[in-house]
Amino acid sequence: MLTRIDHIGIACRNLDETVEFYRSTYGFEVHHTEVNEEQGVREAMLKINGTSDGAASYLQLLEPIREDSPVGKWLAKNGEGVHHIAFGTADVDADAAAIRDKGVRVLYDEPRTGSMGSRITFLHPKDCHGVLTELVTSATEH
Ligand code: V0V
Ligand code: CO
């Protein structure tokens, strides 16, 4: 069951400048940063609020580390902006399987490693009315 908006993924060209914008404009502080080589991103998680399922909602700021990565390709075509939304679930395997059974393309056979030790997969934007959609089980849930 999808129980929260885990994060909104925002593509940016310069992570440090974008972090500073969110800090100075809204007062959001960096909760966590990491490089995800497999996904081709350097990212910062800004925690917005805790959620009723015991997890939290974040903004995920994403700077590509390679031009041919998903975020690099998307930035070249669209410029900076909202790249994906992520729904949180205690069981990404079960939810991904159920959604695949409805005819939506799930991009990975098995969930991969996401931010802060989470397990993630993606649904194809063309099957989701133009929205790249991620499913996340946080490290605290698995
Ligand atoms: C591409 N398209 C999108 C899109 N990216 N539509 C909405 N939102 C996006 N973000 C559209 C694009 O405009 C094309 O439509 C069509 O899909 C094919 O796009 P493409 O440019 O040819 O790119 P592809 O097909 O090579 O790759 C698209 C996919 C790729 C979605 C398959 O981006 C992917 O594998 N994404 C999942 C991984 C990812 O995004 N990782 C970065 C975040 P037209 O022009 O043909 O109509 S990592 C992350 O979130 C982490 C680590 C975390 O949360 O923990
Ligand atoms: Co994400």
User: Per the residue annotation, which of 39, 43, 63, 83 is the catalytic one?
Assistant: 43
pTM exceeds 0.95 for this model: yes
- How far is Cα 72 from Cα 76, in angstroms, rounded to an integer? 6
Confidence of residue 142 (pLDDT cuts 50, 70, 90): confident
CB 134 within 8 A of CB 122: yes
CATH for 2-137 is 3.10.180.10
B/e letters for 22-52, b = 16+ CB within 10 Å, e = fewer, are: beeeeebeeeeeeebeebbbbbbbbebeeee
* Chain segment 19-42, per-residue pLDDT in tens: 999 999 999 999 999 999 999 999
For residue 115, which atom of ligand 1 is closest to its CA?
Answer: 55
124 is catalytic: no
Locate the domains of the chain by residue range: 2-137
What is the token pair recorded at 113? 């490693």
Q: What is the pLDDT of residues 84-140, one digit of tens each?
A: 999 999 999 999 999 999 999 999 999 999 999 999 999 999 999 999 999 999 999
Asked if the model's pLDDT at residue 82 lies above 90, the reply is: yes
Instruction: Please give the Cα distance from 11 to 80 (Å, whole number).
Output: 5
pLDDT at residue 110, rounded to an integer: 98
Residue type, 87: F
Mean pLDDT of the region 3-8: 98
Provide residues with CB under 6 Å of ligand 1: 9, 36, 39, 41, 60, 62, 70-71, 73-74, 83-84, 86, 107, 114-115, 118, 120, 122, 125-126, 130, 132, 134
What is the pLDDT at residue 25? 98
Residues 6+ apart with CB under 8 A from 89: 1, 2, 3, 95, 135, 136, 137, 141
Kindly report, residue by residue over 67-76, the tens digit of the pLDDT. 999 999 999 9
Query: How far apart, in whole angstroms, are the C-alpha atoms of residue 124 and residue 126?
Result: 5
Going by their DSSP bridges, the two strands 56-64 and 41-50 should be labelled as: antiparallel
Q: Which residue in the list 60, 67, 83, 124 is annotated as catalytic?
A: 60
In the chain, the DSSP E strands lie at 2-11, 30-36, 41-50, 56-64, 81-89, 112-113, 119-123, 133-137
